[in-house]
Chain A
Amino acid sequence: MKTKRRAPRARLAAIGVATSCALFVAGCGAANEGGGGGADSGISGTISGAGASSQQAAMQAWIAGFTGANSGATVNYDPVGSGGGRTQFIQGGQIAFAGSDAYLKDEQLAQARQRCGGQVIEVPNYISPIAAVYKLDGVQNLNLSPATIAGLFKGDIKTWNDPKVAADNPGVALPATTVTPVHRSDESGTTENFTDFMNKAAPSVWTAEGDGEWPVPGGEAAQGTSGVVGAVGQGNGTIGYADASQAGQLSKANLKLGDQNVAPTAEAAAKILEESKRVEGQGPTSFAFDLNRTSTGGAYPIVLASYLIACPQYPDQAQADTVKAFLSYVVSEQGQQAAAQAAGSAPLSAALRGQITPVIDQIKVGG
């Protein structure tokens, strides 16, 4: 960054000016907010969304890309959490779309249909591989089978030189360090997907069903992905789960599926949607998937699929136009690439995009 090298005095003077500017609140506008009146496109609405915090980084990239091309439009996204996002969406009015780590179910689906006056649009827009991250001095590139992962997180495997870990990693010198599993202390879609994976892929070890709240006692708890990554990084012998892109300096375990070792990469994660079935009964505009957790075809099955929830029609013309344009951008190749860069997500496949785009194109104004 250039600004870092500026002489301290000049920097202080500049800050002084800027501070007095900020203090006289309405005095000056933000330098990066040009006064474009939407001349470059017809889109000039303001829409707000709320929901999954997992999408936040990607959403910032989408909003930046979208408002860059449509300077008259404003999009806000409030990462209040999936549950909050769904509730707000159902309540209607204030937010135009929601981000959710899970698709709408039963009662909420009915309520959402009521809000939209018909069908509800649900599109997977953010696919992110969840990695088992660990810190174990002197050991990298561990391969772990689903059953071993479940054992580690359940507390059955107490030390790292346990035979089960060793069996997955022949020839690796494992220390006798105590295993400290770290899980999320807040309810989250990441936890739900991770526990659902363990339940489906290693049902004999992990008997609890997939749940947003960590279902078994013991272990260490930390708030949010940042908290888990921080806690795992602070200890030794720690293992946690987090979006692969957020792992930072931590080692990411490869998943041992049969005789393949699959790394938690975006490419391997993207394949999983193609192997998964669409959920029945959600309506024609819904692209909800039941993820295939037991894949053996080289796909990485610990994946968080987050959805955008929107209505096919909005009462206001500007709102309808803006939602349509924004969603189209989000699922476009360009938008998916932007998210992949900013948040490390797995881009949607061309085939899926081809199915989703026509549904979004039909968003219109109406009662």
Chain B
Amino acid sequence: MPTGTEPDKTEDQTVTGTLARPVTAETLPKVRGSLPRWAIGAFLVGSLVLVGAALAVVGFSVGLWVVLSAILFAVVTYATSRVVEGGRKATDRLVTVVVTGAFLLAMIPLISVLFTVISQGWARFDLQFFNSSMRGVVGEGGGALHAIQGTLIITALAAVMSIPVGVLTAVYLVEYGNNSRLARAITFFVDVMTGIPSIVAGLFAYALFSLLLGPGVRLGVVGAVALTVLMIPIVVRATEEMLKIVPNELREASYALGVPKWRTILKIVVPTTAGGIATGIMLAIARVIGETAPLLVTVGTALGVNLNPFDGRMATLPVFAYYSYAVPGVPREPFIDRAWSAALVLMLIVMVLNIVARLISRVFAPKTR
């Protein structure tokens, strides 16, 4: 904050002036005064009460109350701190208020999303939803077992295809690439790949398999290929970042012991960052597991369980949720409820994946402590 630096001059001078003396806790200059601990809390409560009272007169609204209180609080804190503690400290306090405020503001929609999904999804979050498919179901009842299994199978297939390719590519870029022309090309085109719109990936996978198996093909594996196209660049990027962090000293120590390069990578470099790589991979999976558009055009949907990704249509959770919402029957409610429950299950799967990633990283991480 440029404005905050101007009045600092005097303080800076006092600091340099005191440097001649031995620096101990007693001799360090006090930053003028300092606000008592309770002051910030008091300001906050005071702002809320004041603004609340003012609004009670002209007409109350929660949004306005919070916003105006926050502004008043920031101003009062800055002003008092500036008088009592000086400009630098005041700026620091202001930034703290702004950062915390921005954080709280950002949390509102995110919490709202979570709350909406959980509260709406809870209506059909029952046993039947997990042990039934939609085969033979009209209106109420039914479940998403077929969609859950389909999502898990297709995502697992995509993971099996993209993780080796992605991690190996990252290894190439960091350990072997040496900034060669090929490495730079790969880095750039991986970036380009992150920008492939998901529906384009779906259309590409569909066109590819149409060439091989004839037009109109709908298979689980086609969806998995589409997801792989979307997933590879995320895996590469995450792994690359993590591999770069591994200190060169580790590699060199390993080489010095006569360990060949590939064993060094497999035994030293990758395990050191296994936690980070696992997190990156799980984020990549989480990112593609909720894709709807590519699955619409590649896998289609089915009413019953189909566990074979190489034979026929499969249901998946995002597509299930989408169709339940988009083309409901009469009455609408059971369909909409199922859509929300499917969304909730999808989020829970992602949550479980996250926990698994953390556990994996804990197991693989080198025991440093």
Contact = CB atoms under 8 A, between A and B. Distances in A.
Given a CB threshold of 8 Å, the question of whether A touches B is answered with yes
Interface of A: 1, 3-4, 6, 11, 14-15, 18-19, 21-23, 25-26, 28-33, 46, 48, 50, 53-54, 56-58, 60-61, 63-65, 67-68, 74, 76-80, 88, 91-95, 223-226, 245-246, 248, 338, 341-344
B327 to A, nearest CB: 4
Nearest to A50: B300
Nearest to A11: B126
Contacts of B142: 32
Given A18-B131, A57-B329, 6 more contacts: A30-B132, A54-B327, A76-B312, A79-B301, A225-B327, A226-B326
Contacts of A15: 125-127, 130
A204 B325 CA distance: 37
Given A25-B149, A25-B153, A342-B139, A33 B304 contact: yes
Interface residues of B, number: 49
Contacts of A33: 133, 135-136, 304-305
A148 to B, nearest CB: 28
B130 A94 contact: no
9 contacts: A3-B126, A46-B312, A63-B303, A65-B138, A74-B304, A76-B303, A338-B138, A342-B138, A343-B329
Contacts of A3: 126-128
Given A30-B135, A94-B217, A18 B323 contact: no
B314 to A, nearest CB: 10
A57 B328 contact: yes
Interface string B117-160: 00000010111101111111111111101101100110000000
Interface of B: 123, 125-128, 130-143, 145-146, 148-149, 152-153, 214-218, 296-297, 300-305, 307, 312-313, 323, 325-330, 332
Contacts of A60: 134, 137-138, 303, 329
A226 B328 contact: yes
Nearest to A63: B303
A54 B328 CA distance: 9
A48 B218 CA distance: 10
Given A80-B300, A342-B138, A94 B326 contact: no
Given A22-B148, A22-B152, A91-B216, A57 B327 contact: yes
A42 B324 CA distance: 32
A57 B131 CA distance: 22
A99 to B, nearest CB: 12
Task: Classify the secondary structure of A's interface with B.
Answer: helix
Contacts of B136: 32-33, 63-64, 67-68
A30 B133 contact: yes
Contacts, number: 156
B214 A94 contact: yes
A25 B307 contact: yes
A64 B137 contact: yes
A224 B332 CA distance: 14
B325 A226 contact: yes
Given A48-B312, A60-B138, A246 B131 contact: no
A195 to B, nearest CB: 21
Given A11-B127, A80-B296, A246 B217 contact: no
Nearest to A55: B327
A223 B134 CA distance: 24
Given A48-B312, A60-B137, A21 B152 contact: no
Pairs A-B, 10 closest by C-beta atoms: A57-B329, A18-B130, A94-B216, A91-B215, A56-B327, A14-B127, A30-B133, A3-B126, A78-B300, A31-B131
B164 to A, nearest CB: 21
Contacts of A248: 332
A88 B303 CA distance: 19
Contacts of A26: 307
A29 B218 CA distance: 22
B328 A94 contact: no
Contacts of A50: 300
A29 B146 CA distance: 9
A13 B290 CA distance: 26
A92 B218 CA distance: 13
A330 B296 CA distance: 25
Nearest to A95: B216
A301 B328 CA distance: 24
Contacts of B300: 48, 50, 76, 78, 80
A80 B301 CA distance: 9
A64 B140 CA distance: 13
